[in-house]
């Protein structure tokens, strides 16, 4: 019976150790994968955000420069002289027609450039939307990380409880073994005395053995 109990105790300890190793390995693997994904997403978000800010600044600078140029064109001497010429002569000369055509050409080119800027801004809005999605995913990963830490704490508590239960079971088995050995010893002593007719001969003890209960 003692061998069976020891085998059960050993089996219980092995199961507990295997469970703890499996839990630790799984937890470490999840944490590594989680931290790697979060780091990659964070780096990608930062790069995209930096590129977006840089592009927006460049476009704002180009737009401001273009607006300033248009303002200078409108306030230029050419425009003033053209208006004055219309007031004085009623219709533009071939020279002014050519100048006006050149000015319209420049304006058309600038309009095309503005359309290109509008497309870039639309693209940047899409990039910004993706960045917002990345930010939400980073927040989700952070929440998952916090949940994982809570689960880790709960698993540690469960592991301590299992360890305490294993220790209590080991102590109970040891106590039961001691009681069984004591009962066996008392039985042998009683049988010895019966066989020797109660002549007062002391019951022999094994070398180094100390009786559990005084007779």
User: Is 11 inside a domain boundary?
Assistant: yes
User: Is 127 inside a domain boundary?
Assistant: yes
With contact defined as beta carbons under 8 Å apart, do 23 and 31 qualify?
no
The distance between the two most distant Cα atoms of the chain, rounded to a whole number of Å, is 158
User: Is 215 inside a domain boundary?
Assistant: no
User: Is 212 inside a domain boundary?
Assistant: no
User: Is 21 inside a domain boundary?
Assistant: yes
Residue 151's pLDDT is 82
Residue 169's pLDDT is 83
User: Is 176 inside a domain boundary?
Assistant: yes
Q: Which residues of the chain have pLDDT under 50?
A: 207-215
User: Is 207 inside a domain boundary?
Assistant: no
User: Is 142 inside a domain boundary?
Assistant: yes
Residue with tokens 């955000």: 49
Apex 156 CA angle, 150 and 158, nearest 5: 105
Give the structural domain span for 48: 1-89+108-194
Q: How many domains does the chain have?
A: 1
Q: What is the pTM of this model?
A: 0.36
């Amino acid at each position: 019976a003692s061998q069976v109990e020891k085998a059960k105790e050993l089996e219980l300890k092995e199961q507990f150790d295997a469970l703890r190793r499996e839990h630790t390995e799984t937890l470490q693997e999840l944490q590594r994968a989680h931290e790697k994904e979060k780091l990659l997403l964070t780096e990608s978000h930062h790069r995209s955000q930096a590129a977006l800010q840089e592009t927006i600044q460049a476009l704002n600078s180009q737009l401001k420069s273009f607006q300033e140029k248009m303002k200078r064109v409108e306030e230029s001497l050419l425009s003033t002289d053209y208006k004055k010429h219309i007031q004085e002569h009623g219709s533009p000369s071939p020279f002014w027609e050519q100048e006006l055509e050149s000015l319209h050409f420049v304006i058309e080119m600038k309009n095309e450039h503005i359309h290109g800027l509008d497309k870039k801004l639309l693209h940047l809005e899409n990039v910004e939307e993706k960045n917002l999605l990345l930010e939400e995913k980073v927040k989700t990963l952070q929440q998952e990380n916090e949940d994982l830490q809570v689960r880790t704490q709960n698993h540690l508590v469960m592991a301590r409880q299992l360890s305490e239960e294993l220790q209590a079971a080991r102590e109970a088995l040891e106590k039961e073994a001691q009681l069984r050995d004591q009962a066996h010893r008392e039985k042998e002593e009683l049988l010895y005395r019966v066989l020797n007719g109660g002549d007062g001969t002391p019951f022999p003890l094994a070398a180094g053995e100390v009786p559990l209960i005084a007779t």
